[in-house]
């Protein structure tokens, strides 16, 4: 639920790396702990981050049968695959025959959700999922990572540090560029 005085607009996010997505999520967890988090969506921060971890792990552990879309829907989604992977996901999309429209909505403390998310993203960084994505078909390791980054952009965009506190994604991007010797 949006907090009183919460911003009415989502943040515009673009994560280029796993580090940037994890840093932004951690920044939000820290903001919540400090009482500075505001949200403009319907999920708690713990739900959003836990949801991201759940879906990242489905790529390794298997997807529930209810996630599999009918053939015509899968055909359309495969046509949209590159657009979604490169440009992002739309809010409000419901998944198949799932009550509530999606899975992984357990109400979790943000710290616990963050621990799960960090582990899921480290797993994704280290290993390419072998499972075929039920919506988009076979994906390369890079496509799996990009899909999860777009998913994180969507759900983390509904939360912000009301106290400012800088741009965690920008800070992570600068750290990555410094490690690679690129100009900032």
Given phi > 0 = left and psi -120 to 50 = alpha, else beta, which region is 164? left
- pLDDT value for 70: 84
- pLDDT value for 8: 55
- pLDDT value for 177: 45
What percent helix, strand, coil does the chain show, rounded to 5? 55, 5, 40
- pLDDT value for 85: 93
CA distances for 54 relative to 35, 50, 69, 166, angstroms: 26, 6, 18, 28
Residue corresponding to tokens 């515009």: 12
Task: Take residue 155 and report the two structure tokens written for it.
Answer: 């759900």
Q: Could you read off the pLDDT tens digit of each residue along the chain, which spans 184 residues?
A: 444 444 458 999 999 999 999 999 999 999 999 999 999 999 999 999 999 999 999 999 999 988 888 889 889 989 999 999 999 888 877 776 777 777 777 899 999 999 999 999 999 999 999 999 999 999 999 999 999 999 999 999 999 999 876 555 544 544 444 455 544 4
- pLDDT value for 182: 46
Residue corresponding to tokens 């055909």: 75
Closest CA to 32 of 50, 41, 45: 45
- Helix axes 18-33 and 141-156, enclosed angle (nearest 10): 30
**What end-to-end distance do the CA atoms of the chain give, in Å?**
37
- pLDDT value for 9: 87
Q: Sketch the domain layout of the chain as residue ranges.
A: 18-170
Q: How far apart are CA 41 and CA 91, in angstroms?
A: 10
Question: What's the chain's length in residues?
Answer: 184
Record the pTM: 0.83
């Amino acid at each position: 639920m949006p907090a009183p005085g919460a911003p009415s607009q989502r943040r515009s996010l673009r994560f280029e790396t796993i580090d940037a997505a994890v840093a932004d999520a951690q920044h939000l967890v820290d903001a919540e702990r400090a009482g500075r988090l505001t949200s403009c969506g319907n999920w708690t921060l713990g739900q959003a981050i836990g949801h991201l971890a759940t879906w990242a792990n489905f790529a390794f552990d298997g997807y529930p049968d209810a996630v599999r879309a009918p053939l015509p829907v899968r055909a359309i989604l495969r046509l949209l695959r590159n657009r979604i992977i490169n440009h992002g996901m739309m809010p409000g999309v419901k998944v198949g025959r799932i009550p509530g429209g999606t899975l992984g909505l357990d109400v979790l403390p943000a710290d616990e959700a963050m621990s799960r998310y960090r582990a899921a993203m480290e797993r994704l960084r280290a290993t390419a999922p072998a499972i075929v994505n039920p919506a988009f078909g076979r994906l390369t390791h890079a496509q799996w990572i990009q899909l999860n980054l777009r998913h994180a952009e969507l759900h983390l965009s509904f939360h912000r540090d009301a106290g400012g506190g800088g741009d965690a994604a920008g800070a992570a991007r600068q750290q990555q560029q410094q490690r690679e010797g690129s100009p900032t």
